[in-house]
C-alpha cells in the first residue's frame, strides 16, 4: 500500500538535515532563474520545482548527450549534481529540508542519441541522493525518458514535486 505523508514526518534527530551532515554533504548555492518563471511554487502541500539542471550558477557542469558525447557514468553524476541543486533550492524556500514530508515525483529527462538503454542507471544518480537524504520510505514515483536536447546542452534535467509536512 502506498502511505501518506503524515505517517512519515521526520524527527530532528533522524531528519534530512541531520542525514546530510552525517553524509558530509554541503549544499551549493541554489540556482537562479534563467528566464521568466519562479524557481518553485507551492500548491496546497505540494512544492513544484523548476527543472533542475547540473549547473553551478548559470554554468553547466556537464554538456552532451548519453550515447554520444557522454557515457552513463558522467550522465549519472550530472543527475546527482542537479539533485544537489534541488536540495539547496528546497532548503532556501522552506528554511530546512526537515519540512519535507516526502518526495512525490521525480521526473528525469536524459538527453540521448541513438539506441541507448541506460536511462535508469542515469536517473539513479538523483534517486540515490534523495534516498540517502530523505530515507527509503520517502522515495518518489519516477518517470524517466530520453529526450532530444536540453537547455544549455546539459545531459539531465530533473522535474521534482515534494510534499511539505503540515
Q: Does position 91 bind its own copies by CB under 8 A?
A: no
Give the pairing of strands 100-111 and 40-43: unpaired
Q: Is 54 an interacting residue with respect to its own copies (CB under 8 A)?
A: no
Rule CB under 8 A: is residue 131 a binding residue for its own copies? Answer: yes
What does the DSSP assignment read for 103-139?
EEEEEEEEEB-SS---HHHHHHHHHHHHHHHH-GGGP
Choose, by CB under 8 A, the member of 15, 31, 140, 155 that binds its own copies.
140
Task: Determine the Cα–Cα distance for residues 84 and 100; give it in Å rounded to an integer.
Answer: 15
Which one among 23, 25, 73, 117 touches its own copies, defined by CB under 8 A? 117
Select from 14-22, 23-31, 75-83, 137-145 the region that touches its own copies (CB under 8 A). 137-145
Strand 46-49 to 100-111 pairing: unpaired
Residue count of the chain, please give it.
Answer: 166
* Closer CB to its own copies, 81 or 111, in the complex: 111
148 is a site residue for its own copies (CB under 8 A): yes
Q: Cell 541543486 sits at which residue? A: 85
State the residues that interact with its own copies by CB under 8 A.
1-5, 34-51, 67, 93-95, 102-107, 109, 111-117, 119-120, 123-124, 127-128, 131, 139-153, 157, 159, 161, 163
Amino acid at each position: 500500500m502506498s502511505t501518506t505523508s503524515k505517517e512519515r514526518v521526520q524527527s530532528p534527530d533522524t531528519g534530512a538535515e541531520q542525514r546530510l551532515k552525517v553524509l558530509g554533504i554541503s549544499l551549493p548555492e541554489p540556482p537562479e532563474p534563467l528566464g521568466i518563471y519562479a524557481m518553485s511554487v507551492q500548491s496546497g502541500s505540494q512544492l513544484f520545482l523548476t527543472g533542475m539542471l547540473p549547473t553551478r550558477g548559470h554554468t553547466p557542469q556537464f554538456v552532451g548527450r548519453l550515447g554520444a558525447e557522454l557515457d552513463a557514468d558522467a550522465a549519472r553524476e550530472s543527475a546527482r549534481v542537479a539533485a544537489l541543486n534541488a536540495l539547496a533550492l528546497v532548503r532556501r524556500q522552506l528554511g530546512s529540508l526537515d519540512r519535507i514530508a516526502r518526495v512525490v515525483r521525480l521526473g528525469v529527462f536524459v538527453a540521448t542519441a541513438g539506441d541507448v538503454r541506460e536511462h535508469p542507471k542515469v536517473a539513479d544518480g538523483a534517486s540515490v541522493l534523495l534516498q540517502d537524504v530523505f530515507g527509503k520510505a520517502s522515495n518518489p514515483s519516477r518517470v524517466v525518458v530520453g529526450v532530444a536536447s536540453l537547455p544549455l546542452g546539459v545531459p539531465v534535467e530533473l522535474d521534482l514535486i515534494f510534499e511539505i509536512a503540515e
